């Protein structure tokens, strides 16, 4: 550029402005040409593939442009270390999210907080992991407006950088069972001890096979995690509310069959209560007790003149 400077008698600042303009024009031309070339070689017009290509091309062009502009404007300083430092900082800023997702992917691959087919929850999003890629993890969503951890049918794409800063809840790692509770409210006049026995019996019959499998699997999980469950059989806890006696049944269920066990337990409880005359379900009620003393003289109502 020295001959151009001498020929046009330009100042140093003017030369750099001219170099900047030429660089930008060249970069824009190269980007358009590259996209046209790539588009001509794509056999299928896939919007998702084309979107990723455009984003990647934009990132590459941005990094190269920042590097060249930095070189142009810092060239008089003659300080290559300064140039490299600013260049690397520019790359880090431009690709911050991209680098964070790569770091998250490396963490997932190295530490294995979850695997494909695991059911996890992170940052308020829950689902079954169906794919793990370098930049994102894909889950089949559960919960949200659907009760008892049933699938919603939606696909969640979670950036891998999320797993570096947010707590990961793994439903299935090590011990693929959950403690599920059913709250039953009976009236104060009911035989609550009988109701307690009925609820516990229904849950015991329902989870007999589950408890046996869980005993075996918890020994295997104990080799890797300090899981020390001593009692795996169902248990009923008692408390009192204003409307009656609360009996909370607690049982161990498989992670992905929670709703089915909930329904079967309720069917068994309702059938058992229907056969027991001394047990009645309660609901919010208001009672009014009125009393009147028969011997009390009735005061006459005053008459207006």
Window from 89-93, 151-155, 298-302 with minimum mean pLDDT = 298-302
Contact 141, 125 (CB under 8 A): yes
The model's pLDDT over 27-51, given as tens digits with 9 standing for 90+, comes to 888 888 887 877 776 655 556 666 6
193-222 pLDDT, tens digit per residue, is 999 999 999 999 999 999 999 888 887 777
Closest CA to 155 of 116, 186, 117, 127: 127
Instruction: Name the one residue in this structure whose structure tokens are 């001219």.
Output: 18
Q: What is the mean pLDDT of the chain?
A: 82
- The answer to whether the CB of 147 falls within 8 A of the CB of 83 is no
CATH fold for the domain made of 177-275: Alpha-Beta Plaits (3.30.70)
Contact call for residues 104 and 163 (beta carbons, < 8 A)? yes
- Pairwise CA distance, residues 160 & 101, whole Å: 5
Q: Which residue blocks in the chain are alpha helix, DSSP H?
A: 2-8, 12-41, 47-74, 80-94, 96-111, 162-165, 192-206, 208-221, 258-275
Express each pLDDT in 185-198 by its tens digit: 999 999 999 999 99
Residue for token pair 């059913």: 182
> Phi and psi for 273 in degrees, rounded to 5?
-65, -35
With beta carbons less than 8 A apart as the criterion, state whether 232 and 179 touch: no
Q: What's the predicted TM-score (pTM) here?
A: 0.64
CA distance 104 to 108: 6
110 within 8 A of 71, measured Cβ to Cβ: no
Any idea where the domains of the chain sit in the sequence?
2-94, 114-170, 177-275
Has residue 10 got a pLDDT over 60? no
Between CA 110 and CA 96 the distance in angstroms is 21
* CATH no. for 114-170: 2.30.30.60
């Amino acid at each position: 550029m020295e001959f151009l400077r001498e020929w046009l008698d330009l100042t140093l600042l003017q030369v750099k402005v001219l170099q900047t303009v030429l660089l930008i024009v060249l970069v824009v031309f190269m980007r358009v040409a590259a996209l046209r070339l790539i588009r001509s070689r794509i056999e299928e017009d896939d919007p998702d593939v084309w979107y990723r290509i455009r984003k990647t091309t934009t990132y590459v062009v941005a990094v190269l442009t920042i590097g060249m502009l930095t070189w142009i404007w810092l060239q008089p300083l003659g300080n290559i270390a300064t140039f490299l430092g600013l260049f690397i900082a520019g790359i880090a800023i431009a690709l911050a999210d991209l680098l964070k997702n790569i770091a998250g992917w490396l963490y997932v691959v190295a530490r294995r907080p979850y695997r494909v087919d695991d059911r996890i929850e992170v940052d308020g999003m829950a689902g079954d992991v169906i794919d793990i890629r370098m930049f994102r993890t894909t889950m089949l969503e559960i919960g949200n407006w659907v009760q008892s951890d049933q699938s919603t049918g939606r696909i969640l794409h979670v950036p891998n950088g999320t797993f570096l800063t947010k707590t990961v809840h793994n439903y299935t790692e090590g011990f693929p069972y959950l403690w599920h509770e059913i709250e039953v409210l009976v009236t104060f006049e009911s035989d609550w001890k009988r109701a307690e026995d009925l609820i516990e019996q229904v849950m015991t019959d329902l989870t007999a096979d589950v408890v046996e499998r869980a005993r075996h699997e918890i020994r295997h999980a104990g080799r890797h995690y300090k899981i020390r469950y001593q009692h795996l059989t169902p248990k009923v806890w008692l408390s009192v509310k204003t409307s009656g006696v609360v009996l909370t049944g607690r049982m161990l269920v498989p992670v992905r069959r929670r709703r089915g066990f909930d329904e079967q337990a309720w069917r068994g409880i309702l059938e058992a209560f229907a056969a027991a005359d001394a047990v009645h379900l309660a609901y919010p009620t208001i009672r009014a007790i009125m009393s009147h003393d028969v011997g009390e003289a009735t005061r006459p109502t005053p008459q207006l003149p």
